């Protein structure tokens, strides 16, 4: 079942990519008590993710924060070391990278996709959401192969 607006985020463990190394975080605790712009990509360093998705959130970070967003988070079915390297290469210090290495978070949200055709296995669908105190306030899931509604611009326009 896919998560919907008004639903509480599921409890899973994500791994935060930090300069000091990987840091396990409980998804419910992490999103509690604040308003977060969360977006997911099928994979770090992939074409659309690197050329459009992440750069859009880096570019719009201040605008999102001016609209009441406390933190911007990117998640992907990658390990924290890959997400850390991607963050550095994209100069994305304003975006917190949370690795979903086994895809447990994406699966619990009901937002997985099969990337086997591209040698990527189970991945997260491309989406964006606003999470307010652990509850989904806004959800934008892309159609396969699309990049429109999960963009920073679209999310910002709906705030």
Rounded CA gap, 20 and 22, in Å?
A: 7
Cβ–Cβ under 8 Å, residues 125 and 106: yes
HSE-up (13 A, CA, CB side) for residue 58? 16
Would you call 112 exposed, middle or buried from its count of C-beta atoms within 10 A (0-12, 13-18, 19+)?
middle
Measured between its terminal Cα atoms, the distance across the chain in Å is 26
49 counts as catalytic: yes
* Identified catalytic residue from 3, 17, 49, 73: 49
Nearest residue to 7 (alpha-carbon basis) of 94, 131, 95: 131
By annotation, the residues acting in catalysis are: 49
């Amino acid at each position: 079942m896919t998560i919907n607006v008004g639903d509480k985020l599921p409890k899973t463990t994500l791994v935060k990519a930090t300069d000091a190394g990987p840091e396990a975080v409980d998804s419910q605790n992490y999103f509690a008590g604040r308003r977060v712009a969360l977006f997911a990509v099928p994979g770090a360093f992939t074409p659309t993710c690197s050329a459009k998705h992440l750069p859009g959130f880096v570019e719009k970070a201040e605008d999102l924060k001016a609209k009441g967003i406390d933190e911007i988070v990117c998640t992907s079915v990658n390990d924290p070391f890959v997400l850390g390297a991607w963050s550095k290469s994209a100069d994305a210090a304003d975006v917190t990278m949370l690795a979903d290495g086994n895809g447990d978070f994406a699966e619990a949200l009901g937002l997985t996709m099969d990337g086997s055709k591209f040698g990527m296995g189970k991945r997260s669908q491309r989406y964006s959401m606003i999470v307010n105190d652990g509850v989904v306030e806004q959800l934008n899931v892309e159609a396969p192969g699309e990049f429109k509604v999960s963009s920073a611009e679209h999310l910002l326009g709906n705030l």
